[in-house]
A and B are shown apart, each in its own frame.
Chain A
C-alpha cells in the first residue's frame, strides 16, 4: 500500500492504539493535520503547546497509557520542552511529535527552525530526527516501545516537512508495520531488565525477616509498574508500615492502618521519623530524592537498604543499598512475597515488633497534621478548603495540583485510597501544571470526577487552557487557593529571610478570577466565608457541561507544616511552632 508520510504517521498512531492527540498545528506539521481529518483519533486543540504536553502527561498519569502531543517546529517545540522535562523527571510515558523544516533546509536557520533534537536530548528518554518517510512506522513503534517499557519516559520524534508533504515525492512510502522482532532488532542497545535476581530477592527476604524496625518506602515506580496490590500484599504479609512519596500517593491506601502517608520535606512527622529510626528501609520504585532524604549523610542512619528499581542507575546513586535489585516492581514484589510466604510457612519468624509499632502509634498521636481554624471574619484556611473538597467529592475523585503550598496541603489533607487518582509535578516542580494536567486526566478518564487544586500564581501560568476545556466540553473543576502570594516563596522569606518579602505579592483581585473564568466559558465562583465552601463545591460537582473555577480567598499567613528546612537533617523536622490549644486534627 502506497501512503504519504503524513498518512503513515497517523496510521502508525492508530496502530499504537492512540485515541487522543493534544496538539496545535503550524507550518511544518501542517501536512500531518490533513489526514488527521479522516482519522478516528480525537484531536484536542490547545491554546499553548505547553498545555498540550501537560495534558498528555495528565492523560498518561491516570490511564497508564502514553500521552501523545503533536506540535510544529521552532517555538512550538521549545514551548513543549517544559512538559518533556517534567515527564522525564516523573517517568511519565509520553510521545511528542514535532514538525521540522524540510530536510534540505535543516541547518540553514530557516523560518521556525530550531535544533529540536539537540534542545530536547537531555529531557527525553530518547529522541529521533526521522529522515525518510519509509522510516516513520518503525520510528513510531520504537518511540512507543521506549516510552512505555523499562523506566517510562518521554520520547520525541522530529518530523521534517518534506517527508510528510503529499506534494513532495520524498513523502512517498510503502506501508509496512514492523513486527515485535524487528522492533527488538532495531534497538540492540535497549534491553530493560524486568525480572529481579532470585538470589538478591532471597537476601531481601532474609533482611526483612531479621529486621525489627522495617519501613516500606514506596515511590512512583509502584504506580508505573501497576504494583499497588502487590505492595499491599507485601505490607500485610509482613505487617510493615508504608510511607508513600509525593509520586506514590494512592499507591497504598491512606485509610489503611499501616499507611504513614507522605515522607519528606513536608511529610507527616510519623512518616519522616519512622524512616529516620528504622533499621531497614525497603525502597520500592523510589529514588532517594533530596526532598525525601533531607541531608543525605544523616538520613535513616541505622537503616539497611533494600532498593528495588527498574533503572539500575538509581541503585547506589544517592545511598548505597545493602541489597540492590534491578527489576520491575510488581514482578520483584510478587517474587519477594512468594519467598517470604515460603519462609513464614516453614516456621520463620520476624523479631517481635510490638514496641516499634507502639512507638509509631505514639508519634502519630502526638504529631498529627494540624492547623488552627479561622476565627469569624478571617480569611479561609487552605487546609479547611481541602478538607471540605476531600469530604464532598467521591472516593475515587481524581485530583491534580500545581506546585507550591497548595500542592503540599493537597497531598497532606486529601485521602488517597485509590491508585492513579493523584496527578502532580513532583521532580521538576512545574508551576502551571494543574489546569492542563487535569484536562488531560479528564480526557483519559471521562467517567471520573476531576478536580484541580491550584494556587493563584500557578493558575496564571496556564489558565488559558480552560478555553480549550470549555470549547471541547471537558468539565474539569478548578479550586484556586487564592492567597494573593507566591505562597511557598513567601513562606521561605518569612522563615529564612527575616520576613523580607521580595517580589511575592500578587493581589487577590488582579486578575478577577471569577470574571476571567466566565470569559473563558467556565462557571466562575468566589468563596470567602467558611460556611459557603461546601455549597460551592456541591454546586460545582453538579455542573457537567463546562469547566468550573472557584476562587477561594485563603489566609496568606498560613504556612505548610511539618517542614524539614532545606539542607537540614530529617531529625530537625519542625512541626507548627505555634502548635498548642485550639488546634484540630
Chain B
C-alpha cells in the first residue's frame, strides 16, 4: 500500500529550502500508526510538507517518509517526540541527495497515478 500527499515548494523550485528536512521513520506495521504520527504533528504544531507510507522488505515494518518544515519546531524536538511513540522503531534524517531522489520518485508516482 502506498499513499502520498504532496505540497510543492511555494516557489516551484526543484530544491526545497534548507529549512525542510526529510525523515525516514520506520514504524511497526500496525493499525493506526499513521494516525499516531500525523496526530502527533497536528498536536505539537509541527508542519508536514509531504508524506508517503510504504511497506519494507520486512512485512512487520513500514516506512513513513516525511518532509518536515523546521520553521514550526526544531528538527531535534520533532525527532524526539516522534521517537516517543511506542510503535516508532527508528528515525533517520535523509541527506539532501536522497531528498532529491525522493522528490523525483514522489512526482513520478503522482503523475503515474493521475
Contact = CB atoms under 8 A, between A and B. Distances in A.
Interface string B85-96: 111110000000
B77 interface: yes
Contact of A129 (B31, B76, B84, B85): B31
A121 B84 CA distance: 13
Contacts of A311: 84
Of A121, A190, A313, A316, most B-chain CB atoms within 10 Å:
A313
A317 interface: yes
A121 B81 contact: no
Interface stretch (B8-16, B32-40, B104-112): B32-40
A313 B86 contact: no
A122 B80 contact: no
Interface string B29-63: 00110011001100100000000000000000000
A413 B37 CA distance: 44
A567 to B, nearest CB: 19
Contacts of A189: 27-28, 85-89
Contacts of A426: none
A312 interface: yes
Given A129-B31, A189-B28, A316-B77, A122 B43 contact: yes
Range, interface on chain B: 20 to 34
B35 A313 contact: no
A310 to B, nearest CB: 11
Nearest to B88: A189
Contacts of B32: 117, 121, 129
Interface in A339-396: none
Interface in A183-222: 187-190
Interface in A287-326: 311-313, 316-317
Contact of A188 (B36, B77, B89): B89
A275 B28 CA distance: 43
A580 interface: no
Given A121-B35, A121-B36, A190 B86 contact: yes
A577 interface: no
A126 interface: yes
Given A129-B31, A316-B76, A122 B39 contact: yes
A313 B81 contact: yes
A187 B86 contact: yes
Closest 3 CB pairs of A and B: A313-B80, A189-B89, A126-B86
Interface of A: 117-118, 121-122, 125-126, 129, 146, 187-190, 311-313, 316-317
11 contacts: A121-B36, A122-B39, A125-B86, A129-B31, A187-B86, A189-B28, A189-B87, A190-B86, A311-B84, A313-B80, A313-B83
Given A189-B86, A313-B77, 19 more contacts: A117-B32, A118-B35, A121-B35, A121-B36, A121-B39, A122-B39, A122-B43, A129-B31, A129-B32, A146-B86, A188-B28, A189-B28, A189-B85, A189-B87, A311-B84, A312-B80, A313-B83, A316-B74, A317-B77
